[in-house]
Structure 1
Amino acid sequence: MPMNKNEANKRLIEKINTVEDSYPKNFSNTQKILLTTDGSITAILDVLYGKITLSTLEQHFEDATEETAKLINAEAGDLINFREVIMHKDDENLIYAISYIPLKRLTDEICSDLVRADIPIGRILKNYNIESRREINNIYIEKPNKTLQELFNTTEDMLARDYAIIHKNEILMWIKEVFPVSKFTNI
């Protein structure tokens, strides 16, 4: 049974405070909003920057491994969509994201939009009026891998979060979003 909204908000505040307390810099309000929102990151970025764009870096179908199956509450071997994207405004990369999506939980129309176009997941859910909620699992700091270093042209630490999008009490998608600690500090 999902926790009530007050408990969920308290838990998110505790998570962001724990991460911030362990880091030498304070996070901006915008960073905190991006890390704790249970709404669409795309909608927030659209407000901050005007309509943003999403570019798909990699997308393919694969069989779920034991590890990915746990993230999406599926069976190892189930067919999933892996998607790696960068959200950007013009030439400024804003947020990097990866997602695992069990195909058996998608309609053919949603699956088609997911694989054929550079459409943010938040917009796909909105376009199909999918009632869903986001459950944030983790908020943390990580060292950038080579991909993140190249995309953001930095070796600085990254703020990250991962969460599940829940629809009809099942995990529809698992998503991880990442951005540099210096990003969104002046907004």
Structure 2
Amino acid sequence: MTIEKNEANKRLIEKINKVEENYTKNFSNTQKILLTTDGSITAILDVLYGKITLSTLEQHFDKADCEISKLINVNEGAQINYREVIMHKDDENLIYALSYIPLERLTDEICCDLVRADIPIGRILKNYRIESRREVNKIYIEKPNERLKDLFNTKEDMLAREYVIIHKNNVLMWIKEVFPVSKFTNI
């Protein structure tokens, strides 16, 4: 297990180094931690800012299309929860997140918390003592879409990562988190 963990850490370091090289910018230690952690982003932000808040931008049930079914390893047409949120401290938007969650892998209680309240996924997993692990699949830079430009009040490039939360050897959630390249540079 330790050897596997060391290999996974090496791959994450290689991913972040490659993004830095291609972008010709060195990222802050905080940015690197947020992009490579296999733990809860919410917990890290709580340490940095005090308890943060999450606001749901959009959430609905949908059917997995071909692309989504591959991301979360379900059949096309499976019921999913589509969720877009912004994590913030007071009026400062910190991180935007998009998630696809296959409903067939959630208990009714978890599903209720997910759709009923603005609770970060990390807190939901902790509240229900769900043993899980995160696997970071991609770290990259992208141009902001209109929603991101509006949320962060900038047109600058965005740092992004995509990962899955694994529970009982199944993808429990696919998540993409995004923030501007200038965010978290002074912490």
Secondary structure in 2 aligned to 1:22?
helix
User: 2:82 is matched by which residue type in structure 1?
Assistant: F
Partner of 2:26: 26
Indicate the RMSD between aligned Cα atoms, in angstroms: 1.0
What TM-score, normalized by structure 1, do the two folds share?
0.98
Unmatched tracts of structure 1, length 5 or more: none
Partner of 1:164: 164
What TM-score, normalized by structure 2, do the two folds share?
0.98
Partner of 2:67: 67
C-alpha displacement at 1:24, in angstroms? 2.5
Q: Deviations for 1:4-49, whole angstroms, at most 9, x for unmatched residues?
A: 1011000000000000111132100000000000000000000000
Residue 47 (1) aligns with residue 47 (2): yes
User: 1:140 is matched by which residue type in structure 2?
Assistant: Y
Partner of 2:138: 138
Partner of 1:125: 125
Unmatched tracts of structure 2, length 5 or more: none
Partner of 1:147: 147
Greater shift, 19-28 or 107-116, is seen at: 19-28
Residue 58 (1) aligns with residue 73 (2): no
User: 2:159 is matched by which residue type in structure 1?
Assistant: L
- What is the number of equivalent residue pairs in this alignment? 186
Large movers: runs of 4+ above 4 Å: none
Partner of 2:36: 36
CA distance in 2, matches of 1:24, 1:174: 29
Provide the identity percentage: 82
CA distance in 2, matches of 1:104, 1:74: 9
C-alpha displacement at 1:166, in angstroms? 0.0
CA distance in 1, matches of 2:164, 2:23: 25
CA distance in 1, matches of 2:50, 2:127: 19
